[in-house]
């Protein structure tokens, strides 16, 4: 007899993303990231969590890394204790990271610390005031996303603003009911366009795009932007991040 029960087959969020509903959610979010990322540039980008989904695939940033803490990834670290230098990253993507952390404020403080001034944070979260939130509150499942603490869209914006971020974009998505089968989800596709028009506050997930503001900081052009064209390739760093400490719990595959 199989020792796994229905409740623990998809115990982690990454496991749940392999279900029909999980694939639907991450597919909708991938499309949002694919629209936002091509306009963001820099040397280093970091994806925190959901290691199985290439959310940075449309990014034009030179070096892209994926970090995890409970699954395999190129980098292994705790999100509330990031082993990176200050002002390290130009772009950070956080898909549902805060919902599964005991100290979400510390995670955001760490993200603010390692982002460079004017660096961009793109994050998603489940909306507690939606069908997804109702399912979590009244449902019996306590695995995958249902074990997380859903943080509202307005609260997430307040936290970011208090830290020193400016919100530059935001939206809600995933208006279909959290059904379990592919067939049912396909039937509810019409709810996406209708929901965005008629009940935009009830999207199952939200997306936030924030920029790190630092008072009194004047950005200068990087050296590579001022060097002659024939020398630019030599100015781009390669391999492991040059500023990452050597004695951290960082794991590079």
DSSP structure class, residue 195: H
Q: Which residue segment(s) compose the domain that 98 sits in?
A: 13-215
* Residue 233: how many other CB atoms lie within 10 Å: 10
Report yes or no: 209 and 170 within 8 Å, Cβ to Cβ: yes
6 falls within a domain: no
238 falls within a domain: no
* Burial annotation 52-90 (CB, 10 A radius, 16+ → b, else e): ebebbebbebebbbbbbbeeebebbbbbbebbbeebbbb
The whole-number pLDDT of residue 167 equals 97
Which CATH number goes with the domain that contains 181? 3.40.50.150
Cα–Cα distance, 99 to 31 (Å, whole number): 21
8 falls within a domain: no
Report yes or no: 83 and 244 within 8 Å, Cβ to Cβ: yes
40 falls within a domain: yes
Query: For every one of its 253 residues, what pLDDT tens digit does the chain have, with 9 covering 90 and above?
Result: 343 433 444 578 999 999 999 999 999 999 999 999 999 999 999 999 999 999 999 999 999 999 999 888 889 999 999 999 999 999 999 999 999 999 999 999 999 999 999 999 999 999 999 999 999 888 777 778 888 899 999 999 999 999 999 999 999 999 988 888 888 888 777 777 776 777 778 899 999 999 999 876 555 555 544 444 444 344 344 344 544 444 444 444 3
161 falls within a domain: yes
Cα–Cα distance, 119 to 210 (Å, whole number): 8
Q: Of 164, 74, 78, 171, nearest to 122 (Cα)? A: 171
248 falls within a domain: no
The whole-number pLDDT of residue 220 equals 55
Cα–Cα distance, 5 to 126 (Å, whole number): 25
Residue 183's H or E segment, with its range, is helix 182-187
pTM for the model: 0.79
Contacts of 96 (CB under 8 A, 6+ apart): 13, 49, 50, 124, 125, 126, 145, 148
The whole-number pLDDT of residue 222 equals 52
DSSP structure class, residue 134: H
The whole-number pLDDT of residue 224 equals 47
246 falls within a domain: no
Report yes or no: 205 and 171 within 8 Å, Cβ to Cβ: no
Residue 1's Cβ-count burial label (10 Å; 0-12, 13-18, 19+) is exposed
The whole-number pLDDT of residue 235 equals 39
211 falls within a domain: yes
Query: What's the number of domains the chain is made of?
Result: 1
Cα–Cα distance, 202 to 242 (Å, whole number): 43
The whole-number pLDDT of residue 234 equals 40
* Burial annotation 126-144 (CB, 10 A radius, 16+ → b, else e): bbbebbbbebbeeeeeebb
Q: Which residues pair with 212 in a beta bridge?
A: 165
């Amino acid at each position: 007899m199989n020792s796994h029960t229905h409740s623990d087959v998809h115990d982690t969020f990454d496991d749940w993303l392999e279900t029909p509903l999980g694939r639907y959610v991450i597919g909708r979010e991938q499309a949002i990231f694919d629209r936002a990322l091509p306009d963001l540039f820099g040397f280093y980008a970091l994806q925190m969590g959901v290691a199985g989904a290439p959310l940075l695939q449309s990014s034009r940033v030179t070096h892209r890394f994926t970090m995890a803490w409970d699954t395999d990834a190129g980098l292994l670290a705790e999100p509330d204790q990031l082993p990176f230098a200050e002002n390290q990253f130009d772009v950070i993507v956080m898909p549902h990271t805060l919902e599964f952390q005991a100290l979400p404020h510390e995670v955001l403080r760490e993200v603010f610390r390692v982002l460079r001034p004017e660096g961009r944070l793109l994050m998603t979260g489940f909306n507690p005031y939606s069908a997804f939130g109702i399912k979590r509150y009244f449902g019996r499942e306590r695995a995958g996303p249902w074990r997380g603490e859903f943080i509202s869209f307005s609260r997430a914006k307040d936290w970011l603003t208090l830290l020193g971020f400016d919100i530059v974009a935001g939206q809600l998505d995933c208006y279909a009911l959290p059904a379990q089968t592919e067939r049912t989800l396909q039937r509810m596709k019409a709810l996406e366009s209708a929901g965005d028009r008629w009940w935009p506050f009830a999207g199952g997930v939200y997306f936030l795009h924030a920029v790190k503001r630092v008072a009194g900081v004047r950005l200068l052009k990087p050296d590579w932007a001022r060097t002659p064209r024939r020398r630019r390739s030599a100015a781009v760093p390669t391999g492991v991040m040059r500023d990452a400490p050597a004695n951290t719990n960082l794991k590079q595959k």
